[in-house]
Structure 1
Amino acid sequence: MSFQFLVKYFASILFLLMIVTGIIWALDSFVWSKRRKILAQNALKQTGREDQMSEDEKHALIAPFLRQPTWVEYSGSFFPVIALVFVLRSFLFEPFKIPSASMLPTLYVGDLILVNKFTYGIRLPIVGTKIIEVNNPKRGDVMVFKYPNDPSLDYIKRVVGVPGDVVTYKDKKLSINGQAVSYVPQNEFLHDGADLRYSKQYAENLTGVEHRILNNDSAGTMLLQAPQFPMSEQCSYEYDNFTCKVPEGHYFMMGDNRDDSMDSRYWGFVPDKNIVGKAFFIWMNFGDLKRIGSFK
């Protein structure tokens, strides 16, 4: 079993382990332990001298009958831990690791982040069906979601358009519902590692949520041809710009590293059912401890 397989199906594996260990714990608590006690009591009676035996002798006689099998003991010990982890990551907070540079300069490769699972509503584990409404995603939120083309993969991008919004991207600048988003130039951003280069950096104010984004002058604004995806008829693509109207129950997502992000520009809208939660905190980066903390 590969590491990639474990990561991809971790929630399902955790759920299966919880069910299996839970069944074993329940059977032992309510059935098997009672049978062991009966066997121990019968063993004492068969000696014919139960009243004459000391407590130590009784304990030595019945201990083998009362002892849990090793696999039952381990299952019972692991069950509450597995159940707690499953509940925490299913309904409260789930950790993720940033795998790519698409959210630079907000999130770096290797950042270990926490995602709030309940802020956008309570959902059933595994299937993701929403059972309790809480809040809806807002423009500017950094959101984790199931990739529409392969729901087994988790993606992270920024919410740019909410249902009903008209999103225009022209000359590498956004307009939302006809209102231009403001951009304030910042110091150029130096990429780390082997990719040693500079990118232009701006403070983007996305209808009240200010964050930084990157642009690469050498990259083109748009694709060579309009992509095809579900409800792509809601979008119009031209040589240097595009406009999309976000359908009801869907969201338009973009990476902060605008010229190095595969996002809604290429594969379309994110349906509400694919939402995982809101990313809000970097809890560890083993390469740079200064990265720990909240982010916009």
Structure 2
Amino acid sequence: MKRSATKEIWSWISSIFLGLLLAAVVSVFIVQPYQVQGHSMDPTLYDQEHIIVSKLSHTFSRLPGYGDIVIIDSRTGRERTLKDDLLENGVMQLFVKPEEGHALYIKRVIGKPGDTIEIKEGRVYRNGKELKETYIKEPMLADNQTWTVPAKHVFVMGDNRNDSRDSRQIGFIPQDHVLGKKISNISW
């Protein structure tokens, strides 16, 4: 009798371990829930809103498309590693505290490699054509500026342009710092 109880306990422990391992693999490489922090994407996404993010573009090193809403690692001055991906998933964050000063941002892709992005009189232009941005919160208050997006990078901005820390401040986002693309909102 004692032997079967021990066997059952080990069966439960191995099932829980395999479940956690599978959840970690799915959240690192396939999909992950994410909670919006802050108001930089108002009115498209609101503070504390929950979304589902596809990690497949990050896993397979594909550039996101124009207008895609993406999660980025704001630490653009350092290389990312597999360790970063493992430590940032929701399962691991139950056990490991995130690195100090580390921020994941949610932004919209405005420019891809080779694009020239201009801000003129509060409007955004890509390669000389004004973007039709029906999603922004309010007219942007900004000085005229121009950027050319380098290879393997993107230029991102928040939809609440007057309250967003984005490529205008942190610079171009390396392709490997684009961690995933929003695919759905979560309704609770």
Give 1:66 shift: 4.2
What's the CA shift string for 1:69-117, capped at 9, x where partnerless? Answer: 8874542131221122112212221000011110011001121000011
| 1:140–1:160 Cα contact (<8 Å) kept | yes
TM alignment of 1:31-110, pairs within 5 A = 63-68=1-6, 72-110=10-48
State the percentage of identical aligned residues: 33
Give 1:250 shift: 0.6
Which of these residues, 150, 164, 183, is aligned with residue 247 of structure 1?
Answer: 150
What's the CA shift string for 1:190-215, capped at 9, x where partnerless? Answer: xxxxxxxxxxxxxx1xxxxxx41022
In structure 1, C-alpha distance between the alignment counterparts of 2:186 and 2:157, rounded to whole Å: 23
Could you state the TM-score of these two structures normalised by the residue count of structure 2?
A: 0.79
Return structure 1 stretches of 4+ with deviation > 6 angstroms: none
For the aligned residue pairs, the C-alpha RMSD in angstroms reads 2.2
2:125 is aligned with 1:175: yes
How many pairs align? 165
Could you state the TM-score of these two structures normalised by the residue count of structure 1?
A: 0.51
Equivalent residue for 1:279?
A: 182
In structure 1, C-alpha distance between the alignment counterparts of 2:40 and 2:167, rounded to whole Å: 13
In structure 2, C-alpha distance between the alignment counterparts of 1:248 and 1:164, rounded to whole Å: 7
SS of the residue 1:138 aligns to: coil
In structure 2, C-alpha distance between the alignment counterparts of 1:247 and 1:253, rounded to whole Å: 13
In structure 1, C-alpha distance between the alignment counterparts of 2:11 and 2:139, rounded to whole Å: 58
User: Greater helix percent: which structure?
Assistant: 1
2:109 is aligned with 1:159: yes
Give 1:153 shift: 2.5
Equivalent residue for 2:93?
A: none
SS of the residue 2:34 aligns to: strand
Equivalent residue for 1:136?
A: 63
TM alignment of 1:203-218, pairs within 5 A = 204=133, 211-215=134-138
Unmatched segments (≥5 aa) in structure 2: 81-101
Letter in 2 for 1:137: P
Letter in 2 for 1:92: I
| 1:215–1:257 Cα contact (<8 Å) kept | yes
Give 1:121 shift: 4.8
2:163 is aligned with 1:269: no
In structure 1, C-alpha distance between the alignment counterparts of 2:165 and 2:13, rounded to whole Å: 43
SS of the residue 2:168 aligns to: helix
In structure 1, C-alpha distance between the alignment counterparts of 2:41 and 2:58, rounded to whole Å: 24
Letter in 1 for 2:171: G
Which of these residues, 49, 52, 64, is aligned with residue 114 of structure 1?
Answer: 52
Name the structure, 1 or 2, with higher relative contact order (CA <8 Å, separation 6+): 2
| 2:58–2:176 Cα contact (<8 Å) kept | no
